[in-house]
Amino acid sequence: MKKKVIVFTVLSIAAAILIAVVIDRQTPTGSDFAAWMENTYAVECQNESCGVFEIETESGETVVLQTASGTYSPGPFVLDVNRVYLSFDDYAYRLEIHVKGFMDQFSLEKEVLRNIEKNES
């Protein structure tokens, strides 16, 4: 009876570790977030975690927006990004988002747009 309990315990621990490793490998990275930003909005990220990006206005002018405040938390299972992007040259442009990434998928929790275009889906 003790052997069955020990074998069951060892198998349970091994399965839990395997599941944790698989989920961890599916957690989105900063590069995944940047790709999501470029696919969701009409922006061109300037770094891996998209802390700075460019947009093109209707007149063809390039405007740079950067993180003014917020958090970027790449946890072991969930990527949590809560940011406010501003153009310090022109305050007419603003993007405020709260995004969670899990298992290579992103969910938009909050979004405030000012003069930022979204890509057509």
* pLDDT by 10s per residue, the chain, length 121: 788 878 778 888 887 787 777 666 667 888 999 999 999 998 999 998 899 999 998 888 999 999 999 998 888 788 999 999 999 988 899 999 999 998 888 999 999 999 888 887 6
**Which residues touch 73 (CB under 8 Å, ≥6 apart)?**
79, 80, 81
Give domain status of residue 13, yes or no: no
Rounded to the nearest angstrom, the gap between the alpha carbon of residue 16 and the centroid of all alpha carbons in its chain is: 26
- Report pLDDT for 72: 86
- Report pLDDT for 68: 94
Long-range contacts of 18-24 (CB under 8 A, 24+ apart): 23/77, 23/103, 24/76, 24/77
Structure tokens at 65: 């927006």
Under a CB-based contact definition with an 8 Å cutoff, are residues 37 and 53 in contact? yes
Number of domains, the chain: 1
Residues in the chain, overall count: 121
Give domain status of residue 98, yes or no: yes
Dist. CA 50–CA 104, nearest whole Å: 17
Instruction: Residue 36: give the domain boundaries.
Output: 28-114
- Report pLDDT for 9: 83
Give domain status of residue 108, yes or no: yes
- Report pLDDT for 34: 94
Give domain status of residue 17, yes or no: no
Dist. CA 50–CA 44, nearest whole Å: 8
Closest CA to 117 of 15, 29, 37: 37
Sign of CA dihedral 57, 59, 63, 68: negative
